[in-house]
Amino acid sequence: MKRLWLWFSLVLVLSLLLASCGQNAGGSRLKAIQQAGVIKVGTSADYPPFEFVDANGNTTGFDVELMNEIGKRLGVKVEWVDMPFDSLIAGVQEGKIDAAIAAFNYSEDRDKVVDFSDVYYTSEDAFTVVEGSSLTINDPAQDLLSLKLGVQTGTTQDDWLTALVDEGKLPADNLARYDRVDQIALDLKNGRIDVMMSDAVPAEALAKQLGGLKVIYKGVLSSGPMNIVLPEGEADLAKAINEILAQLKAEGFIENLAIKYFAE
Amino acid sequence: MLSNFLSYIVQGTGVTIAVTLIALPFGLLIGLLLALLYNYGNRWVARSAGIYSLLMRGVPPIVLLFILYFILSGRLINLSPFWAGSLSLGLVSSAYQMEILRGALAAVGAGQMTAARAIGLTRLQAIRYVILPQAIRLAIPPWSNEASIVLKDSSLVYALGVPEILRRAQQLSATTGQPFLAFGAAALIYFCLVFLTNRALDYLAEKTKLPTQPV
């Protein structure tokens, strides 16, 4: 009899889970957003200069200002939802947020569960080491293999390094994964890892902010074009956002933002 | 700039307190109900309550939080992350609070029930007027432990996108590059909250102590 109860409760829990996993009802998300007057956008505000919290406690950054402008042109208010980076895709998938912008790069795996807007900016990968280190990296896929590496969980850099591990080239013990990019930089300074792999822009921001770090390699390996993450199959929403992105590019708005935040 | 940042963390304290003030009483309500059912219900009811507690305590809070969040914030019920997170935390805590109250109810001697029945009280009256007032008093010290655990576990609701103290400290650490300062401030706030909570409950336990109650 004891068994029976256990099974009963297991079935109950599983059915509740399944009931909650269904797809959202059909219909245009764009219409729903315009009706509500609010677009809920997820980000992970711990990645300066793309998204961070400023001295007054406001969420800001390159991505944030860009999205606020997109919201303005859609005629809706942007409601920011701060989440851990690796919850963002799930958030869009489950319909908890209408979009996510957090220096996302296109990847095939992600494309299976969400859609992507057009490219709004192109980023590079960077390798960062402590100042005074004599390390040089010319061919990353070769030169990295004997080093201890740090990377942020769920990023395209993580995928790129994980692929090296899966191919048996990079020993799994050499790769440490972190929740946030500033944690990697600190462990790098503390000597627990040899090299940090990340987007180039935040790498340079961190090197400047923390001091004692230098970027020794920049190039497109894993990242590259950045896109806004949108819910799967919401063509209206994607079209509206892509049209605005095209306008913003034509007007030089994005370029000005890049100058403001990345000092290019 | 630094003082602005620190005040930004302190603002998160309100969120942390709010989450705790929802989760704790909610968990207490359910925990008390389940403890009564466990101790005085028929065997099927008691067994169900036991299984509930077993399941809830057998899974890490963060995992339950995610599962409950996706139920509480799904299509049927659609709560905001704040409410879904707070109620989920309350459900997680309810199993622990049930165990505390179950122990406290059992600690009131069985003779009391017999005596209460003998003077003509019904079972419900005996529980309401004789057993429960003593059990609740006995439960305060272990419950104060649970209160501080819930207070500290409230940092888990960040995983659902609620910006409480810990999350704000993370953001501050990322923006300023001063993790020691950011997390030190968070630690200090948590400590003060837990310290005050425990002191208040100690005081309550002392004030409400019965003359018959062992120290």
Query: What per-residue confidence (pLDDT) applies to A22?
Result: 43
* Residue A243 predicted with pLDDT over 80: yes
Q: Provide CB contacts within 8 A for B185, sequence distance 6+.
A: B6, B9, B169, B172
A95 or A117, higher pLDDT: A117
Query: What per-residue confidence (pLDDT) applies to A112?
Result: 92
- Per-residue pLDDT band for B215 (boundaries 50, 70, 90) equals low
Query: What per-residue confidence (pLDDT) applies to A196?
Result: 96
- What part of A 46-85 touches B (C-beta under 8 Å)? 46-48, 52-57, 81-84
Q: Quick check: B177 and A21 CB within 8 A?
A: no
Residues of chain B with Cβ-Cβ distance to A19 below 8 Å are: 71, 74, 76
Measured between CB atoms, which of A87, A186, A206 is closest to B159?
Answer: A87
Q: Provide CB contacts within 8 A for B103, sequence distance 6+.
A: B139, B142
Q: Does the beta carbon of A26 lie under 8 angstroms from any beta carbon of chain B?
A: no
Neighbours of A198 (CB within 10 A): 27
Query: What per-residue confidence (pLDDT) applies to A15?
Result: 57
* Residue A77 predicted with pLDDT over 70: yes
Query: What per-residue confidence (pLDDT) applies to B1?
Result: 62
Read off the pLDDT of each residue in B137-149 and give the average, rounded to a whole number.
94
Nearest partner of A85 among A183, A16, A144, A155, judged by Cα: A155
And the tokens for B88? 């989920």
CA distance B5 to chain A (A): 6
Nearest CA in chain B to A50: B175
- Per-residue pLDDT band for A3 (boundaries 50, 70, 90) equals low
A·B CB contacts under 8 A = 87
Q: Quick check: A20 and B70 CB within 8 A?
A: yes
Residues of chain A with Cβ-Cβ distance to B3 below 8 Å are: none
Q: Quick check: A84 and B159 CB within 8 A?
A: yes
Structural domains in chain A?
28-122+226-262 (3.40.190.10), 125-219 (3.40.190.10)
Q: Provide CB contacts within 8 A for A248, sequence distance 6+.
A: A66, A69, A70, A120, A254
Query: What per-residue confidence (pLDDT) applies to B175?
Result: 80
And the tokens for A186? 């600190």
- Per-residue pLDDT band for B10 (boundaries 50, 70, 90) equals confident
Read off the pLDDT of each residue in B16-25 and give the average, rounded to a whole number.
96
Contact criterion met (CB below 8 Å) for B159 and B65: yes
* Residue B155 predicted with pLDDT over 60: yes
* Residue A5 predicted with pLDDT over 80: no
Minimum mean pLDDT range among A64-68, B101-105, B181-185: B181-185
Interface with B, mutate which of A83, A89, A208 (most B CBs under 10 A): A83
Q: Quick check: A206 and B5 CB within 8 A?
A: no
Structural domains in chain B?
14-162 (1.10.3720.10)
Nearest-10 Cα torsion for B182, B188, B191, B192: -130
Q: What is the largest CA-CA distance in chain A?
A: 71
Q: Does the beta carbon of A190 lie under 8 angstroms from any beta carbon of chain B?
A: no
The DSSP string of B77-126 is: SB--HHHHHHHHHHHHHHHHHHHHHHHHHHHS-HHHHHHHHHTT--HHHH
Contact criterion met (CB below 8 Å) for A240 and A135: no
Q: Is the ipTM of this complex over 0.90?
A: no
Measured between CB atoms, which of A13, A96, A186 is closest to B179?
Answer: A186
Nearest CA in chain A to B180: A186
Residues of chain B with Cβ-Cβ distance to A9 below 8 Å are: 51-52, 55
pLDDT tens digits for A11-49? 555 555 555 444 444 568 999 999 999 999 999 998 888
Read off the pLDDT of each residue in A101-112 and give the average, rounded to a whole number.
91
CA distance A113 to chain B (A): 17
B66 or A100, higher pLDDT: A100
Query: What per-residue confidence (pLDDT) applies to A21?
Result: 47
pLDDT tens digits for B70-81? 777 766 677 888
pTM over 0.80: no
Nearest CA in chain A to B55: A9
Read off the pLDDT of each residue in A235-256 and give the average, rounded to a whole number.
94
